Amino acid sequence: MQSHRRLRACEEIKRVCEEIGHAGPIGILTHCNAGPLATSEYGTALGPVLLGSEQGVEFKVFADETRPLLQGARLTTYELQKAGVDVTLICDNMASTVMKQGLVQAVFVGCDRVAANGDTANKIGTSAAAILAKHYGIPFYVLGPSSSIDMDCATGEDIPIEERDPEEIRSKFYEKPVAPEGVRCFNPSFDVTDAELITAIITEKGVFRYPYSDSLTVFSK
């Protein structure tokens, strides 16, 4: 039943894809990993891409590498390539360029926690992608299970953000450290995307739109 509702929620994205459809593939940008490896089955943010591809929709996905742990590079590209989806890996700071060139028609991301007003915590860098999407007039979708919505959390300011080991920035994945020894590092795991930047929040229980302080009240106890 959970799987059926999740796939049904993907119909919203399919509808959007049909509206923005043109001669050639539909450009999608995604950040971090929210595919089968992270959430099972079709995943959340990658669900519409994987499901749509099975049904003949042609996508061209730009996957942010997602520094500093590189979930996009290590996991998202693997899942999409394995599924036969056209995927291109880009550095996080290249997102603006592909958007400006008109190569992206929508942004799909997952979520770790959604506040009652729609502010959404996700992997660090998600907020930047949302701001860029807003600037270029690109719809920005958050996909996740309804269990991520916390109606006891009023706004994103109430979401605690973990700060992780500085060595993830200085030396992880590198043969030699890339920064001077002892340099101060700031390494938050997540950031919060403001609700007004989000086109829709899509869960297995439906599609919710701004103002989320109204639409998300269905989750109130």
Q: In the chain, where are the structural domains located?
A: 2-153+190-205
Q: Amino acid letter at 1?
A: M
Confidence grade of residue 38 (pLDDT, cut at 50, 70, 90):
confident
User: What is the set of active-site residues?
Assistant: 112
Pick the CATH number of 2-153+190-205 from 3.40.50.10470, 3.20.20.140, 2.30.30.110, 1.10.101.10: 3.40.50.10470
- Determine whether 213 is exposed, middle or buried from the number of CB atoms within 10 Å of its CB (0-12, 13-18, 19+): middle
Are 16 and 57 in contact by the 8 Å Cβ rule? The answer is no
Confidence grade of residue 85 (pLDDT, cut at 50, 70, 90):
very high
**14 pLDDT higher than 70:** no
Instruction: Write out pLDDT tens, residues 136-193.
Output: 999 999 999 999 999 999 999 999 999 999 999 999 998 999 999 899 999 999 999 9
- CA dist 137 → 9, 76, 154, 157, 210 (Å): 23, 25, 28, 26, 16
Confidence grade of residue 82 (pLDDT, cut at 50, 70, 90):
very high
